[in-house]
Amino acid sequence: MPGIIVLGAQWGDEGKGKATDQLGTAVDYVVKFNGGNNAGHTVVVNGEKFALHLVPAGVLSPNCTTVIGNGVVVDLAVLFEEMADLNARGVDTSRLRISPNAHIIPPYNKAMDAVNERKLGKRKLGTTGRGIGPTYADKMNRIGIRIQDLFDTSILRQKVEGALAQKNPDIVKLLGQDPFTVEGVVDGLLSYADRIKPMLLNVPAELNHALDSGKTVVFEGGQATMLDIDHGTYPFVTSSNCTAAGACTGSGVGPRRIDRVVGVAKAYITRVGEGPFPTELTDEQGDWLREAGHEYGVTTGRPRRCGWYDAVVARYATAINSLTDIVLTKLDVLTGLKEIPVCVAYEVDGERVADMPQSQSDLHHARPIYEMFPGWEEDISGAKSFDELPANAQAYVRKLEELSGCQISAIGVGAERDQTIAVRSLLG
């Protein structure tokens, strides 16, 4: 079972890092294929919490090679700070490799994030302000800076000159900041060249050779299905492809190399930032879920919007990603509820809709149709098998499996690495 994609099946923060970390203990490569440091994965090992942003979760497994693919945008300062922090905590980052085709987040694009949000005003997207969107826009506009440009000063300078000619006027006018200088930006980027050169890797060649030789590669997605630039709740989305297809374009392997696609979903659902969220709870129940689940952003600390499990979203994620498995996380958070609502369909303009609306307006006005399921009081955090779960918890999981259209192969009952019930192996 050599090629496995792990991605978010909701709006993010589902626990992808924990799932990837667990696979990383038994695989050869973990490859991050999209996003940047606008997302974070929290992994808890032996009571110690690690917040990962750019470094793939496989770094916590000493025999795993971790790779940052071409689909990722990289803030070099953040990357080396994260590596230094991990090294200081005894984690070896010497096996981390990076594609020379990955794009760099230049300092002026963080300012452009603020410029763009200011221009949007009330229609702002609620970005993390880390320059992710402007960097992906530069990539599409063919003025982006890639890792390989650090080794051709002439190309680097030309790209920075062209970008600043477009961006400096807005930065000065709308933010009141001094303009960025070409030399300042170029010198700052070049200061990382010597450190990153030993990390460079021909990623497509390496991964395809690894797969040919029977090694196992996990492709780790940032963000999640409902934030995908094409298939998410546009325009309230991220700037990259977070779905399964993005693993191929963001790493350089073909779709026939993928054997399994694992979607990670919470036993409820959360979202950060603006945009439609049909099952959102804005009352005391939402506050309770937020506190019980510790729902605050790893990267930003922002409180997450919370709601009940949305089976419409789950079916949509299953379909467009061809999910083979779901890892259900945070089931333990629901302990103590007498009844648990699950959204099974939407009501749109008075009609019952079972599939994801493709109209932004329809989704915005969609109202959840709930079915109620009995809860449980028993502590499940120590459960080691499905049979050890209370009968109502088992029934809840089986119902989510049925409604989602995909088998649930693992269940999270706590934050620790070993607090996961394996229903069936994700490695085949």
Which residue in 13, 75, 113, 310 is the catalytic one?
Answer: 13
Q: Is residue 303 classed exposed, middle or buried when 0-12, 13-18 and 19+ CB atoms within 10 A define those classes? A: middle
* Structural contact between residues 215 and 67, judged by C-beta atoms closer than 8 angstroms: no
**Which residue type sits at 383?**
A
* Structural contact between residues 7 and 264, judged by C-beta atoms closer than 8 angstroms: yes
Which residue in 21, 28, 41, 325 is the catalytic one?
Answer: 41
* Structural contact between residues 384 and 291, judged by C-beta atoms closer than 8 angstroms: no
Q: What is the 3-state secondary structure (H, E, C) of 116-137?
A: HHHHHHHHCCCCCCCCHHHHHH
Supply angle C-alpha 368, 236, 295, rounded to 5. Answer: 65
Is 13 one of the annotated active-site residues of the chain? yes
Residue carrying structure tokens 């609502």: 341
**Which residue type sits at 1?**
M
Residues 6 or more apart whose Cβ sits within 8 Å of residue 428? 1, 259, 260
* Structural contact between residues 151 and 157, judged by C-beta atoms closer than 8 angstroms: no
Q: Could you write out the DSSP letters of every residue in 326-390?
A: EEEE-GGGGTT-SEEEEEEEEEETTEEE-S--SSHHHHHH-EEEEEEEE---S--TT--SGGGS-
Cα gap 10→394, rounded to integer Å: 22
Positive or negative torsion for Cα 420, 421, 426, 428? positive
Is 41 one of the annotated active-site residues of the chain? yes
Cα gap 234→314, rounded to integer Å: 18
The set of catalytic residues is 13, 41
